[in-house]
Amino acid sequence: MTYLVTGGTGFIGSYVVRILIQDGEQVVAYDVAPDKSLLKHLMGKEKSDRVIVIPGDITDLAHLIRSCQEHNVETVIHTAAVLVAENPWWVTQVNCVGTLNVLEAARILGIKRVAMTSSVSVFGPPDRYKEEYISNGAPHFPRNIYGASKSFNEACAMQYFTDYGLETITIRLAHVYGFGRTNTGLGRVIDEELFTKPALGKPGSVPYGDDTHNFIYIEDAARVMVMASRVGKTRTRAFTAGGGIHSTAEIAAHIKSLIPNAEINLLPGLMGWAYKFDTTPVMEEIGYRPEWTIEQGVKQFIEDIRKQHRAA
């Protein structure tokens, strides 16, 4: 089977591509600014050379269609997005118009399945909900343009399923952590200060140090996306997928147990994002359960940071 992975040389996309290549699939990585360094880090030059890399912007519908046609794409895993909420026009162009283009290209070409990343940021703050664990089908109360764009994308995917029968599956990912984040935004700042700097012997100052998150390791995030691209018909179209619930202080303490001389300063403050979710539907309908514990994920993250540093 031939897959097109949007954002295919980015953070989540690269891990998705690795799984597909390991499974013997043909993969086209479609990316606005391709950089194969993470792919090479993850699977070596020989395997990464099997990936067809196409420079392309998802806001360019014609180019997207041509790329799918030329390579006989059968399934799309859509991970491309921007996280910088301070630029509403850019976020809307890429996340909303770009996603509509992905869906429209699939409709025009008769592509079998589109699996798309969404985000738990669609839910906003936990105080908007009466239940402790937010249900999979709960209403959305996004706090910024990024969360709103993801909520819009879920509605578009549902519309394409309802109107055209396009098999769309959307996965709302919790806080993804792990080596190789290339995008901007708060997630990268947290990864840099909480993981990368301590791993390299530098002091880290972590914003919103009083927070608690639902952490999902990047390997699990990529795996659930691939599972979503292969599952049969589901009752549900958008699923929440998480990992484990941990405070920032708990993560910092674990890092210090691995790196006793680590200097991690937790800055006071709360982001106030929801972190407790009912993930029963994704378990029952897709079969996803997190495989990486926070201890395993943090250890691997630190090893990858140091491996990359030694190779630099």
Q: How many helices (H) and strands (E) does the chain have?
A: 12, 12
Point out the catalytic residue in the list 3, 146, 208, 288. 146
Contact 254, 224 (CB under 8 A): no
Residue 140 DSSP code: P
> Which residues are CB-neighbours of 201 under 8 A, at least 6 positions away?
261
Strands 113-119 and 26-31: unpaired
Show the 3-state SS of 197-225. HHHCCCCEEECCCCCEEEEEEHHHHHHHH
Whole-number Å distance between alpha carbons of 307 and 312 = 9
208 noted as active-site residue? no
Whole-number Å distance between alpha carbons of 308 and 179 = 9
Contact 14, 31 (CB under 8 A): no
Contact 41, 48 (CB under 8 A): no
Residue 154 DSSP code: H
Whole-number Å distance between alpha carbons of 253 and 71 = 48
Torsion sign across C-alpha atoms 83, 35, 218, 270: negative
Of 124, 155, 123, nearest in space to 136 by CA = 123
Query: Among all residues, which ones are annotated catalytic?
Result: 146
